[in-house]
Amino acid sequence: MNIGLYISTIVNVSLLVILCLGFTFTYMMEKFPNFAHTSFASIGTAVTYYLVKFYGWNPYYTWPLSMMIGGLVGVALYLIVVKKIKERAFTDITLTFTFYIVSQIIVQCIAIFSYWILMSSRYQSNGFVLFNFDFRWNGIQGVGIIAPLTVLFLVVLLEGFLKYSKHGIAMKATAEDEALAMGLGVNVPIMHIASWFISGSLAALAGSIIPMWLSTSVDFGDTLLISVMAGSVLGGLASIRGAIIGGILTGVSKKAITWVLMKKISVNMGSYEGLIPILFLFAILAIEPNGLTAIYWRNISVHNIKVNIKNLVNSIKNSLNPD
């Protein structure tokens, strides 16, 4: 594989891991798939594109602001939509359908934004692209270096937050058993708000990265959703580590399988790259809906049971044969 394909794989894997983390985070806390999650990414794209094109910002300087806006949108949707629906005791399927509608509303808002850009400044409106504003290091586009480093930083930060901080532990407790967490004094509403802020921030960050590598369209979130779902389900929707593993495996496999098919069959096979995560998702749901982490922990449990039984048998034998 040439260097371009390596960099493309790295950037795509980075994007998938970020989006899978946010998607899984929402599912862990709210117990429903947020079909608008990848549409949040388009908010980050719009913010970054606007600041770079109209105000000459360095694309990387827009990321914190983009994350802040994405996080606030996530919090607003929780307070206005999710919280209200849950108070009325509607089922999770209601939230799923509602957020599909939310995703379409965001798409239309981005389309309006795109049209406004075209009419007010005559900039191209059928897609946002910023790779000409990126720096290069030894012939490598900057995002190919910054994106994976950012993912590494986020993974370490998120793992540390959930494992060692008081608020992170409280958030995990809320995700596992909300009633018990509330009984232990955890401020459950604040935990939900914080989780939506984190999820929205991660999606918007991914959206800010995307136009630095790819030319996007107003509905590119829809094309990303299947890949994100495949990665999240592959790793396991109840595990942050699973989201990381699933995002990496889906991103690498998607590029590697497409490259092999293009080399062995025809270059035209590249146009079917989007089919791979769909097949992944179908296979996962058919074989192991709970993902790879479920298989891992099940194997550990089976192993522990076998070891305990073996130790018990040996103990009995020793007690019967003291000599």
Rounded to an integer, what distance in angstroms lies between the CA atom of residue 201 and that of residue 69?
A: 7
Confidence of residue 148 (pLDDT cuts 50, 70, 90): very high
Give domain status of residue 323, yes or no.
no
317, part of any domain: no
Q: CA 130 to CA 123: how far, in whole Å? A: 12
Query: What is the domain-level CATH number for residue 25?
Result: 1.10.3470
> 305 in a domain, yes or no?
no
Top mean pLDDT of 62-66, 119-123, 274-278, 301-305 is at: 62-66
Of the listed ranges 29-33, 72-76, 108-112, 271-275, the one predicted with least confidence: 271-275
- Name the 3-class secondary structure at 238: coil
Backbone angles phi and psi of 303, in degrees to 5: -60, -45
Does the pLDDT at position 305 exceed 50? Answer: no
Say which residue, 153 or 245, is predicted with more confidence.
Answer: 153
pLDDT tens digit string along 100-123?
999 989 888 888 888 888 787 776
3-state secondary structure of 136: strand
Predicted pLDDT at 312:
41
> Does residue 137 lie within any of the structural domains?
yes
Does residue 298 form part of some domain? no
pLDDT at res. 306: 46
> Model confidence at 192, in pLDDT bands (50, 70, 90)?
very high
Q: Which of 73-77, 179-183, 222-226 shows the highest mean pLDDT?
A: 73-77
Buried b (16+ CB within 10 A) or exposed e, 262-275: beeeeeebeeebee
Alpha-helical regions (H) of the chain: 3-30, 37-55, 63-77, 83-87, 92-121, 143-164, 166-176, 178-183, 188-209, 220-235, 240-264, 275-287, 291-320
Non-local (6+) Cβ contacts of 303 within 8 A are none
Q: How many CB atoms lie within 10 A of CB 313?
A: 10
Residue 248: inside a domain, yes or no? yes
Determine, yes or no, domain membership for 311.
no
> Is pLDDT above 60 for 239?
yes
What is the arithmetic mean of pLDDT over 86-98? Answer: 81
pLDDT in tens, 198-213: 999 999 999 999 988 8
- Give the domain range for residue 279: 3-289
> How many structural domains is the chain composed of?
1
> Mean pLDDT, to the nearest integer, of 258-268?
76
Token output for 296 = 């891992």
Q: Is residue 319 part of a domain?
A: no
Burial of 290 (0-12, 13-18, 19+ CB in 10 A): middle
